[in-house]
């Protein structure tokens, strides 16, 4: 009798599961550490770049862990469980002529099997199950065999009379099972990619949307380009307790007007001043940042002013930095950017 299930093979699968589990845990820990380090590295200047790096790293490290777990740990665990069942279970022996079918079934959370028909000469042929990894070790169809069976699963085979093999048929039906199941992995990888995107973005926005005491926000009633670069320039001059500077067009807060109402600084054209007057600090006349008549253009590298409009900078009435002077300092830094550009 050739036994498919042996204590040595069971031990090998169990050791493989332990090794892969240890590697998986190390990789998972490294992934968490890398994620945390990247989160700690986020500041105004690199926020936009690190956002995408965070998503990419989370996605790739997750894919590596999934690829290790599904075809590695999961397979080792199911094979070890199956072998243990064959070794511990009560064995029965049947004699007859066998036929290996092409019917392949994947049992959920278990092994992939092939159906084997055994004609014992008594009524209908018995339908038995064979681990698909062992199909190449079975004799040719029509051979007279003794099969050792545990709960309908074949544990061993003894050939009593070998039947002539059909080479083409034999090679087609007895290909060994593939351990790497791409079709099984692809949906999981896709789901993880979506989860990584949303989770990383959620964490990123929680970090960048820091407490108002540590943040200075500038909203522009117009188009802004390279806002991260402008924000980084302002952050350099502010220092502690400001940890994050945000520069956004008004459209950025179209679904959350509360963020607009509590902004620290506003750049608004004169034509819209009355519309937003309640948001400006009392007595604010506004500092001209763009005037087509005089040629004044503050931060024109980043803010695309309408050529025919005059724009002014205002301090917000709802700014948490209205009394500590940081909103005023931010306004002064912004007004001086034009001079810095000229020097450079």
Q: What is the pLDDT of residues 234-283, one digit of tens each?
A: 887 777 777 788 888 888 766 556 777 888 899 999 888 888 888 888 87
Residues in the chain: 344
**Contact call for residues 43 and 51 (beta carbons, < 8 A):** no
**Structural domains in the chain (count):** 3
Q: Are residues 322 and 221 in the same domain?
A: yes
Q: Are residues 281 and 320 in the same domain?
A: yes
Q: Are residues 135 and 229 in the same domain?
A: no
**Contact call for residues 135 and 4 (beta carbons, < 8 A):** no
Q: Are residues 82 and 194 in the same domain?
A: yes
**Contact call for residues 261 and 318 (beta carbons, < 8 A):** yes
Q: Are residues 188 and 62 in the same domain?
A: yes
Contacts of 229 (CB under 8 A, 6+ apart): 45, 302
262 is written with which tokens?
């509590």
Q: Report d(CA 28, CA 65) in Å as an integer.
A: 7
Contacts of 141 (CB under 8 A, 6+ apart): 98, 99, 100, 163, 165, 166, 169, 170
Range of the domain at 245: 211-343
Quickly list DSSP for 54-98: HHHHHHHHHHHHHHHIIIIIIHHHHHHHHHHHHHHSPPEEEEEEE
| CATH value at residue 112 | 2.40.50
- The reported pTM is 0.62
Q: Are residues 278 and 335 in the same domain?
A: yes
Q: Are residues 244 and 201 in the same domain?
A: no
Q: Which residues pair with 268 in a beta bridge?
A: 312
Q: Are residues 11 and 40 in the same domain?
A: yes
Q: Are residues 54 and 189 in the same domain?
A: yes
Q: What are the tens digits of pLDDT across the range 165-219?
A: 664 455 445 665 554 456 778 888 999 999 999 998 888 877 776 667 778 888 9
């Amino acid at each position: 009798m050739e036994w498919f299930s042996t204590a040595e093979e069971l031990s090998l699968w169990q050791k493989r599961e332990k090794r892969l589990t240890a590697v998986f845990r190390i990789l998972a820990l490294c992934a968490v550490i890398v994620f945390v380090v990247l989160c700690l590295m986020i500041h105004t200047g690199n926020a936009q770049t690190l956002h995408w790096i965070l998503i990419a790293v989370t996605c790739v490290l997750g894919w590596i862990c999934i690829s290790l777990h599904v075809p590695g740990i999961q397979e080792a665990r199911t094979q070890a469980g199956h072998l243990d069942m064959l070794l511990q279970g009560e064995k029965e022996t049947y004699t007859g002529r066998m036929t290996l079918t092409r019917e392949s079934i994947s049992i959920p959370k278990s092994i992939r099997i092939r159906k084997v028909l055994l004609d014992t000469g008594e009524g209908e042929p018995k339908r038995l199950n064979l681990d698909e990894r062992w199909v190449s070790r079975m004799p040719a169809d029509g051979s007279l065999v003794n099969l050792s069976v545990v709960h309908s699963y074949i544990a061993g085979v003894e050939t009593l009379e070998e039947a002539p093999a059909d080479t083409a048929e034999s090679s087609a039906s007895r290909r060994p099972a593939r351990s790497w199941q791409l079709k099984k992995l692809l949906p999981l990888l896709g789901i993880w990619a979506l989860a990584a995107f949303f989770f990383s973005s959620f964490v990123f926005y929680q970090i960048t949307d820091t407490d108002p005491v540590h943040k200075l926000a500038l909203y522009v009633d117009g188009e802004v380009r390279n806002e991260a670069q402008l924000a980084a320039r302002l952050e350099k001059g502010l220092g502690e307790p400001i940890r994050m500077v945000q520069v956004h067009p008004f459209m950025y807060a179209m679904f959350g007007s509360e963020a607009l109402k509590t902004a620290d600084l506003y750049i608004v054209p004169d034509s819209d001043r009355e519309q937003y007057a309640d948001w400006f600090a009392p007595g604010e006349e506004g500092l001209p940042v763009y005037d087509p008549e005089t040629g004044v253009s503050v931060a024109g590298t980043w803010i695309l002013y309408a050529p025919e409009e005059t724009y002014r900078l205002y301090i917000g009435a709802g700014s948490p930095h209205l009394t500590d002077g940081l909103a005023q300092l931010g306004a002064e830094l912004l007004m001086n950017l034009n001079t810095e550009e000229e020097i450079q």
